[in-house]
Every structure is written in structure tokens, then in C-alpha cells.
Amino acid sequence: MDTLHTLFYFIVAIAILVAFHEYGHFWAARKVGIKVIRFSIGFGKPLISWQKSPADTQFVVAAIPLGGYVKMVDEREEAVKAEDLPYAFNRQPLLARTAVVAAGPIANLLLAVVLFWLVLVIGEAGVRPVIGGVEAGSLAEQAGFAAGDEIISVDETATPTWIEALDTLLTSAIDGKTEISVVTKAIDDSQQVRLIHLTEQDVQTPETLHKRLGLKPWVPTIKPVIGKVLEDGVAKQAGLQSGDLIISADGTAITDWQQWVDYVQARPDVEIKLLLERSGAPLSLSITPRSEQQGEGKAVGKIGAGVDTPKDLLDSMMVTHALSPWDAVPVAGKRVWFYAVTTLKMMGKMVVGSASVENLSGPISIAQYAGQSAEMGFTAFLKFLGLVSVSLGVLNLLPVPVLDGGHLLFFAVEAVKGSPIPERIQLYFQQAGMLLLMLLMGLAMFLDIGRLFQ
């Protein structure tokens, strides 16, 4: 994927999420009568700045797009003019200060509701959840799944697409369930209830669960015709073009696309001699699949090319799931609640060691997800924004000093004891919170860099 494409959509995503978060603080501050000095999207040197008058709020877009802030009049930060003292944050009642701090994360959660509502109303296109194969010894085989079964629902939640089915299975597992009920429909339209039994080891990471489930999507028999060729892939470098029909590889006849995929994946960094048909004429060339790590360190071959899928075949397996604007409202709210609770549970599992820290994502991973979702389409990008907005809202509500949740914790203590916590003690906890946050960010970056090398 083009780096500029990824970077562009990452900046767009961060700008939207930060703008709504900070606007929550800004809106609440104005409502309770606090004077706002600056509203900034990004940190560092201002690139764009607008201010109606010296007495009004300065709106800024800054150079480093990794956050933002709302600067209010506050005696704890700098000297305040006498005429501005009634509008200082620190002089406001406890309830007003609490509302201002809580408004940022709440704005992110409300934004997520709107984004999921849009996704539900516009409709999500996806592949029907038809099972193509079940791996021997897998959880799916133990539960009685069979090739040709279509997944109708997971724990009474409808799953119209393959992605919805996998997402619901994953979230049910993260929710701590040891038994997941799946309704399937066989080729003869008869329905069965399959029970998947899980252990703690099965849900260490999404990749682990996916592997142990052992479910493979139905893949039609498709001619091995090259479709899209990535600019930075080895297929492009070797001379493969869209429309090329693969006849044989190392003398072995290739009759369908899946056979070709399996052949390539089994040969990372191994040269393959190809016989092609291009525009009716035979053509020979060589290609060496690039080695990429996939699941528990296993190396697989990748060439950076996709299949040319016949449109009528693709259409027969595609479905679009949409709701009316009214029906989508409670469903969007339930999704946000579910993802928020799931996020908290996953964080808790990582803290106690029952889930791997590899579930952490840093800015590099988020940037990649932003680019990938944008390439998949508008609704996929909206869904990505919704998921990250939930995570941002939940993260900021954690009772960690320097985060909004840390300030809310200080306010709760103030409400109990009847007076603010001394600034010296607050500063100590904020420094500890900053250190913890820096360590987590460092770990997330380390994992991100590790994924890049994989």
C-alpha cells in the first residue's frame, strides 16, 4: 500500500477523532462559563491559526498531528488577569470542572454511536459466512462444523457476513465465555446449533483464536488469472501483468487460484519457474515469493498480486446488511457499549496476564489500519473510525493521572474529603501517570516495529 495513502488517511482519522474529543472539552467549558484561550488540533508549531479578536479563542492546526488540547484560563498554569478570574477553570464548582473533563471522552463515545449508525444505515457489504473447510483437530471440528455450512448467528447475534461472524466469535471469546452457541444452516437448509468450547489458552490473541477455531471461508474454484498487481510487490518486479493466465509452476500444472496461492505460500524466498499465457501466447518467467511472517513466526511466500474474480461469481456470494435509520439507533448504541466493555475486559486480561500484550496497537498499526480500511471503502473507514473512537473514549476514562480519567479520580476524592488534593501530590501522581503512559507507548511502538519487520 502506498505510504502517502496510509499517512493521509491516518492524519484524517486522527484529526477527526481529536477534533471531536477536544470539542467536547471546549463545548462544556463554554457552557459553564470558563474562558478558553486556545483550541488546538495537533502539537508544536501552528500551521493555521484563526482568532476573531484578541479576547476570543484562538483556533489552531499545528504541525504534529498526534493529539490536541484545549487551553483554558487557569491560575495553576499561569498568572491570570483580574478580570478573567471568575472565568478560570480552577475557580469553578466541582460539578462544572467534572463536566468539562468528562465531556472529551463522552464526545468520542457519542461520535462512535453516530459512525456506527451511519454504517448500519448505509449498509455493510460482505461475503456470506459459508464454511469452505474445517481443519482437523480444531475447535470447529470438535463442535461438528462441516464444509458448506452457513453461519446464521453467534450467541443469538445475527451474522450476515463472514467478517461479522468472525468478529462476533472473537468478541464473545474476549467476553470470557467458555461456550459459544453458533447456529448453522446446511446445504439442505436444515439448521443446527453448534457449541464451541474455549479455554483461556484459546484466546491469548485474535490470531491464536482464529487458528484454533480452524474455520476456512468458502472459496470458489477460480481460474489462476492475475488481477491486481501491487506496485511494490515481487509480481510487478518479475513482470507479471493483469490478465496473465498461469499454466504451470516448476512443471506442475496449476488449475485454480487456490492451488496457486498454496504453492506460493509454501515457497518463501524460493525461485519459481512459471509458464504463462498472455494474450494467447505462451510466456516463461521466474518469480521469487517474498518471505513474510504469519502467525507464531511461520514464514509464508507472498508475491503482491490478486486474482481476477468473475463479477457474477463474486456477486452471488455478496450480501449487504442495512437497517432503517430508526432501527439503527439502538443497535449503534449497543455496539458502542459492547466494544467499550470488550476493550476494558481486554485491558484487564492484559494486566493480569491472561491475554497477550501483542494485542496493543501503536501509531504505526493504527496508520496501517486507517489506510487498509479506506482502501476497502467508505463504510469500512467509518467502522474503523468508530472502533478507534470507542477505544479513545475508554482509554481517556481510565483512572490514570494525566488522562481525563485521572482528573475525574482527583475530583472524586475531592468530593469525598471536601477539598482538592494538594497540587504537590497531584503533580507526583501525574508524573507517575506520564511515566506509565510513556512505557505503554514505548511498548506499543516496539510491537509495531516488530510487526513491520515481520
Q: Which long-range contacts (CB under 8 A, 24 or more apart) does 283-292 make?
A: 283/244, 285/238, 285/239, 285/240, 286/238, 287/234, 287/235, 287/238, 287/240, 288/234, 288/238, 289/234, 289/264, 289/265, 290/233, 290/234, 292/268, 292/454
Give the C-alpha separation, 210 to 162, whole Å.
13
CA angle 83, 87, 89 (to 5 degrees): 135
Neighbours of 252 (CB within 10 A): 10
Q: Dihedrals φ, ψ of 102, to 5°? A: -70, -20
What gap in Å lies between CA 256 and CA 220, rounded to an integer?
9
Catalytic residue among 22, 124, 150, 164: 22
Label residues 71-100 b or e (16+ Cβ within 10 Å = b). bbbbeeeeebeeeeeebbbbbbeeebbbbb
Cα–Cα distance between 332 and 345 in angstroms, integer?
Answer: 20
DSSP string, 100-142: HHHHHHHHHHHHHHHHHHHHHHH-EEEE--BEEEE-TTSHHHH
Q: Where does 303-403 have alpha helices with state H?
A: 311-317, 325-352, 363-376, 378-397
Residues 6+ apart with CB under 8 A from 126: 160, 161, 162, 163, 164, 318, 319, 321
Cβ atoms of residues 26 and 89 within 8 Å: no
Phi, psi of 270, rounded to the nearest 5 degrees: -115, 125
- Residue 296 among the catalytic residues: no
Least Cα distance to 202 among 139, 244, 261 occurs for 139
Where residue 440 falls (left for φ over 0; alpha for ψ -120 to 50; beta otherwise) is: alpha
Q: How far apart are CA 351 and CA 289, in angstroms?
A: 39
* Positions marked active-site: 22
